[in-house]
Structure 1
Amino acid sequence: MRRAISDTAQAQAALADVFASHERVVFFGGAGVSTASGIPDFRSVDGLYHQHFAYPPEMMLSHEFFIEHPSEFFEFYRTRMIAPDAKPNQCHKKLAELERGGSLSAVITQNIDGLHQDAGSHTVWELHGSVRRNICQSCKACYDADWILAREHEDEQGVPRCPACGGRIKPEVVLYGEQLNDQVIRGAVGAIAQADALIIGGTSLVVYPAAGFTRYFSGSTLVIANRDPTPQDSRADLLISCDIAEAFDF
């Protein structure tokens, strides 16, 4: 029988029980995991897609826009996609603690902020890449987010250029119109397929192909922890609708 929980204390107890009663737990997270760290999500009432910009965010985060409007792309990327002051919240920290204790097999994330690694998680499959890696398209040199924000190596359009070879820099972030990394896909799908419990947290489950990865889960317990309903709620054994950072404070 499906359980639905909105009380924080009950959610904490239920999640603790999932980890205690399963051997291979995998966490699949989205933008809602990082909102408690001050990083806005995309689709909520306060999310990026409801804010006003010169171009729609969906357009600015596309490969086509990166190619045709690099100056506007990097201005949006620097100011809206990189959050240098963000710190891991309780959800990030608890997941790292559970991995260290052997209770969590892997984290699969749609986020690009790197906060899971900052918290201490090691097995992290970043489906959409990371702002921590920005790659020269010519010589493949890699630069971090701080280098992008420093703006010391830009052309007249404000586009970062590789100081080694002058090549154009591209964030190692999967933009609309681009394919997910094959190695990451295999790692994420393998982790889900081997899990006996899958906890989905902070994601609307509407962004494909990532949202489709849940079809590879055949374990005993599916948990969905999200503030708003998702298209896959009917599959869940446990639905949690309270704040996810608070729910992981156990």
Structure 2
Amino acid sequence: MEFDYKAWQHVFKLDPAKTISDEDLAAVCESGTDAIIVGGTDNITLDNVLDLLVRVRRYAIPVMLEASALDAVTPGFDSYGIPVVLNSTEAKWITGMHQKALKEYGDILVWEELIAEGYCVLNPDCKVAALTKAKTALDVEDVRAYARMAEQFFALPIFYMEYSGQYGDVAKVRAAKDVLTKTRLFYGGGIATLAQAEEMKAVADTIVVGNVIYEDLKAALSTVKVKNTL
């Protein structure tokens, strides 16, 4: 099992606060997706993260934890995504929580396991936008500027366009991709069909499929075919 986020085309995101049966989890993990991301916005606890980790570890698939809740971070994952919400209006989501984490755990961190994700939150109605007080009313030029900021100013390995439950604006995703040369473009939000997966994969490097897993598993699994059609 090799962990290389730069090679990921399709990823499933599982929410520790949501229920998934063993049968459905097996279908997700054995679907041919490149990796599993474990993450969510609320009700994330050490117990439900550990429970999901143990269950996913039965399968030979890379698994990343998005470290959105410090008290729910645990060893055992292949890597840890560290969100930096670039369009948050509160400093705690850009540097504050990160400094707090480094103050407490800086001496014991395995730096090679950490992957900084420059988030750009674009759905004004999603929980993460409310939590981080993100400035979501962005036009194409705004998005392009944030993408450049992620790569040229901060040298972040991932620029993550997060629509969280809403299918996004392809033009904005393309605008970000057009100015990125080293930073990998992740897209997540509202992908519920293979056609949508294909449309977003045509402009993003990596697509992240999440909510539809819990709403229509068959549709979710169909999106993996994007790896074979593009």
Q: TM-score range by the shorter chain?
A: 0.3 to 0.5
Structure with bigger RCO (C-alpha 8 Å, 6+ apart): 1
TM-score by length of 2: 0.34
- Bigger Rg, structure 1 or 2: 1
TM-score by length of 1: 0.32
